[in-house]
Amino acid sequence: MAKFFSLKIVTPEKLFFEGEVEMVIVRTTSGEEGFMADHVWACKLLVPGSVRFKEAGAKDFRSAAVTGGFVDIRGNAMVYADAAEWRTESDGNSPHR
């Protein structure tokens, strides 16, 4: 059975997303990195790109575009982004990319 952990995506203006997830994938300065429940502590700089995550009980990943920031993993995941918006089909990008 999959383990879940809390993910928050925060911008200077608002709490963009909060929920339980199975996995989160971010684009860091050293490439894409994924984090799951019970991951060791990590703090990484983000570059512009996607934050993808699979919510508890979901079949597919959701995707949000971020313009940079950092991710802090300490049992739960906090993404502090300069800006964030949901990816949609009309962007020419799959929401699951």
Topology, domain 5-87: ATP Synthase; domain 1 (2.60.15)
The reported pLDDT for the residue numbered 19 is: 97
The reported pLDDT for the residue numbered 93 is: 47
pTM beyond 0.75, yes or no: yes
Per residue of the chain (97 residues), give pLDDT as tens: 689 999 999 999 999 999 999 999 999 999 999 999 999 999 999 999 999 999 999 999 999 999 999 999 998 999 999 999 998 754 544 444 4
Residue type for 10, please?
V
Strands (E), the chain: 5-10, 15-28, 31-36, 42-55, 62-66, 69-74, 76-81, 84-86
The reported pLDDT for the residue numbered 2 is: 80
**Radius of gyration for the chain, computed over Cα atoms and rounded to the nearest angstrom:** 12
Domain ranges in the chain are: 5-87
